[in-house]
Structure formats: C-alpha cells, structure tokens
Structure 1
Amino acid sequence: MSLPVLGVALPLEGLRQHRSWILDSQRDLEVQDFFWAEVLNGDWKPLAEAISKELDGHTGRLGIHGPFWGFTIASLDPDVRRLVARRMDQGLDVCAALGATQMVIHSPYTTWDYNNLDYNPGARAKVVERTHDTLKAAVRRAEDMGVTLVIENIEDCDPADRVALARSFDSPAVRVSIDTGHANYAHTSTGAPPVDYYVTAAGDMLHHVHLQDSDGYADRHWNPGEGTIAWPQLFRALGTLSSNPRLILEVRNKDLVRAGADHLIGLGLAR
C-alpha cells in the first residue's frame, strides 16, 4: 500500500513560501486566510484572486478553514445562531471563489458538556437541535456546491459525540475532522482517550486531519516529533480507513512546516 501524501494548512504568505514543495507532490492544501470576521466582512476577492494565482497548476485537493472565532455552532442565543449561519455562508462564498471542496468548522462540545450534558435532562439532544438550526442552510448549500463541512474536535472529551452529530445530518456534506494536538490535550489534561481512539471512533466519517504535536498541556501546534503524540500508532489507525482523509500539517511556525513533514516521512509514515 502506498504511503499517504501530506498536505498543509497555510495563509497566502506561506503558500508563496512553500509553493514549489506543494506543487511538486500536488499536496492537499487548506487555505487559512478566511476565518477572520474582518476579512469576511471586507473585500476579500482580491485576496482570493491572489491565492488562485499561486494555485495555478495545483491539482491536489483544496479546502479552507472556515470561520470560528467568537462563537459556537450550537449557541443558546438564537440571534447568535443567525450570525453564525451568516459566517458559514460567507465561508462558502470563499469556497465558491477558490473552487475549494472542504471547509473546516469547529465542534460545539466543551469539557463542561462532557461532565454535564447527561446531568441535565434533554441537554444532549438540544446541542444537536441548535447545531442543525445553525447549519441547516449551509449544509443544503454545501450539498449543491459539492463542498464537505468537516467538524473539528476542540475540547471534545468523547470523540463519539462529534461523530454522532455529523451523522445526524444524514448528508454527504457533513463529515468529521480530527486535530491531533487538540485530542492530545484532551487526553492528557481532561481524561479523554488517546489520539488514535479519535480515529477509530470516527471511522470512515473521517475526511480531514490536522497534524500537529503538543505536550498535552496546551494547544502548541508544534511540528510532529516535538511533543508526545505516538505518531506510528496514529498512522496505523489511519491506515485502516477507506475514506482517504486529507492529512494537513497545521503548525504554528509556518517557516518550519517542512521539518514536521520530514519527521513523519523519516518515520516511514507518509511522503
């Protein structure tokens, strides 16, 4: 079986810096310029045009990180849910402009939820209900566009909750993402299972992975090899899937992202 090709998450500046490396292997790319409200509310089309110019000749899969700052997709406030729905629509506008086929959004589940949803009658179902209220229009539009919304774990302690939420839409436009560093934080600091368990829980609902390392204390976004994640075990779990998830390096220091790739390549896990 051939090794998976690593992708990368970058803003325009990083895309320009690493363009040759990306195009040489036609790596999957996640554009990270469009999750800021200030960008989405402004004239972002020149930025999208500049990115498209840099992507000339790129045949790897293209996605964006959708908006997430300052809200949850399951807000208790109906007015906030309307604003979040607008943000999702803005993100899909960007997908249309770039030709992106995937948008990352953030899970609504918190550490507090893990300890309290089953204590409060009906609370678990209400999270799903509010999320559907927020995303219903975006899911319909994504279906029409051929875009997949992938829900990324943030504080999630139980990886099955997010998978069940994604399944509840009964739509090809909603799937699951895993951020390895977030999972390692949850495992080390809040008693969640190890990172590979998140892969097993998702199964073929998994369509996207953020690859980053951490010490389990904070959301470090270190290069693979700089923290405590057991990368061979994680890739063994990924190897059982048939969904071909995008494996996206998402590290804080964009200048050194190729060092993280080289670590995984050196372990014989990817190329």
Structure 2
Amino acid sequence: MVRIPDAKVALSTASVYPESTATAFEMAGRLGYDGVEVMVWTDPVSQDVEALRRLSDYHHVPILAIHAPCLLITQRVWSTDPWTKLQRARSAAERLGASTVVVHPPFRWQRQYSRDFVSGIWRMADETDVRFAVENMYPWRYRDREVLAYAPDWDVTKDDYRHFTVDLSHTATARADAMSMVDRMGDRLGHVHLADGNGSAKDEHLVPGRGNQPCAELLERLAGGSFDGHVVIEVNTRRAMSSAEREADLAEALAFTRLHLASSAGSAAASPVAGPAAESRAPLPRVSHGRPRIRRT
C-alpha cells in the first residue's frame, strides 16, 4: 500500500532564470506542479502583488510561498530597510494566500538588523498566521579561506526560530550533514528547498539526484512523518540551451520529488523527520514554541 503525503510540491520562480516570473507560472501549470514560490527580485512582476495574482488566476497555479528579497542583487528591492522588506513580504503572502515567507539570516555587515533579527522574527511571527521560515545558508569560500558572511550564523539551528527552511544545495556548499541539520530542526522544519550539490564553493542548485545530497532520503523521511509544509524545487537551469531543455530539467525534478514522497503507509511515524535512516539516532526532544531565549551576539 502506497501513501502519498499531503505535502505540496512547488516550483520556485528562480528555477527558470534567466526567463521571467511569468514563465515560471506557465511552466509550473503545464508540468503539474502544485504551486509556485515567488522569488521577489529584480523582475518587476515578482514585486507586484496584483500582477502575481493575475498570473496565479490565469494559470490556475496557487502561490504557496514568498521568498523575501534577501539577496545581494535585491538590496534595493522593496526598500533598503530589511524590516520593511519582511513586512512587505508578509503583506504579499497574506494577500495572495501564501502560507510561508522564506527569509535568509542577515549579512554580517547589517549590524543592527542582525542584532535584532532573532527577536524581530519572533515578533513578526506572532503578528500573523504566515510562517517566517528562516533558511540555512553557508560560509563563503575563497581558495582555502572561509568568510562568515551571515549573522547570527549561517547555520540557523544555532538560534531559536519558530520555523526553518532547509536548503540542500546550501548544506552541500557548507559541507554540512544535511540530515543532522534536519534532525536539529525537528518539528520546526516548515519548508524545504529541494536541490542538490557536490560540495563546491559555488551554490550549485543541481536537479535532485545529480549531486551527493540526501534528497531522496529527506523526502522519504518527510513522507513517513507529520511534515505539514511545502517542498519547493529551487534549481539552477541557466545553463539550459533552450526552453525545452529547461522544462525537461524541471519535469525531472518534479518526477524525482513525487517518486520519493510516495511512501509505505506502514512507515509513517510521529516525527516530521522520522524514517528508517533515523532509527539509529537518539529521539529528538520536543521544542517549545513559547518565547525564545535569545542569544545575544
């Protein structure tokens, strides 16, 4: 007996770059994705709530998540103030019916923002039903040197957040144990960016199955547990020689994800990350969702 979990599989609009946000909606609808995650960036359509609503309605593709403009290239998108960016992301999510806002930890040079980030994310999460899911990042590398670009930390499990996003391309770049990180996230894992990587200093975002990350294992464990978030395909297709080649990569990623999300009904477990590979690990303590103890940096 096979059980298909409730987790929806979405396409990140970043996955069609350099094509447009509008193209992402079209491809997601044609390939059978359950929805999209909108990466808010320099494409004006990605910043326009009404334009996004029209695309969603036209293609019958729900918007499941908003990725706040946290990248270096989006420093001036939706204001230069990082808290204003998050407020606008929350407003967009509420107006579009998205359940999640994905946010990166601050850059280290954003000193005031990074000092207040943990408590500020809790404060914003208390004001809405939208999840603020903080995403794991990675140290930047130049030759044999590491540069710690994010604060409080690129490993977001070192701080206390209500919800996390795990990104498996980022665990590859960080050369971190992805499944151990997922274990530390426990029942606070609320969102997944599915991609692959080989441990390069570059953030590769390969199609799942083309690198060395435990993409299949993670999906199977999510399917066997109580994970109630979304799985988002966030891959790099900019080397595709044609739109048809890009679409083939996105179809392969969707097929891989649906295959490994299908699980034996008998393997279901209470933990959102439980599964056969987790049996040898010690049980996770349940994390309180009350007010956090903030680590000052």
Q: Number of residue pairs matched?
A: 227
Q: Does residue 15 of structure 2 align to residue 29 of structure 1?
A: no
> Taking every aligned residue pair, what percent have the same amino acid on both sides?
19
1:236 shift after superposition: 4.2
Q: Does residue 218 of structure 2 align to residue 225 of structure 1?
A: no
Q: What is the RMSD of the two structures over their aligned residues, measured on CA atoms?
A: 3.7
1:140 shift after superposition: 4.0
SS of the equivalent of 2:228 reads coil
Distance 1:50 1:225, change over 3 A: same
1:165 shift after superposition: 2.8
Match of 2:12 in 1: 9
Among residues 118, 124, 129, which one is paired with 1:138 in the alignment?
A: 124
- The equivalences for 1:1-271 within 5 A come to 2-4=3-5, 5-10=8-13, 11-22=21-32, 27-32=34-39, 34-36=40-42, 39=44, 44-54=48-58, 56=60, 58=61, 62-70=64-72, 83-108=81-106, 129-132=115-118, 134-135=120-121, 138-141=124-127, 143=128, 146-155=129-138, 162-163=156-157, 165-167=159-161, 174-187=162-175, 192=176, 194-217=177-200, 218-239=202-223, 241-253=225-237, 255=247, 256-265=249-258, 268-270=259-261
Q: Determine the C-alpha separation between the residues in 1 that align with 2:225 and 2:153.
A: 16
**Which segments of 5 or more consecutive residues in structure 2 lack a partner in the other structure?**
14-20, 74-78, 140-147, 238-245, 263-297
1:257 shift after superposition: 1.0
CA distances 1:156-181 after superposition (whole Å, capped 9, x unpaired): 799995235344xxxxxx41110011
Distance 1:28 1:46, change over 3 A: closer
Greater fraction of residues in helix: 1
Structure-2-length-normalised TM-score: 0.63
Give the aligned residue type for 2:52: A
Q: Determine the C-alpha separation between the residues in 1 that align with 2:171 and 2:153.
A: 9
1:51 shift after superposition: 2.5
1:135 shift after superposition: 3.7
Q: Is the CA contact 2:131–2:163 (under 8 Å) kept in the aligned structure 1?
A: yes
Match of 1:170 in 2: none
Q: Is the CA contact 1:28–1:246 (under 8 Å) kept in the aligned structure 2?
A: no
Distance 1:101 1:6, change over 3 A: closer
Structure-1-length-normalised TM-score: 0.69
CA distances 1:60-82 after superposition (whole Å, capped 9, x unpaired): 671111120239xxxxxxxxx98
Q: Is the CA contact 2:136–2:154 (under 8 Å) kept in the aligned structure 1?
A: no
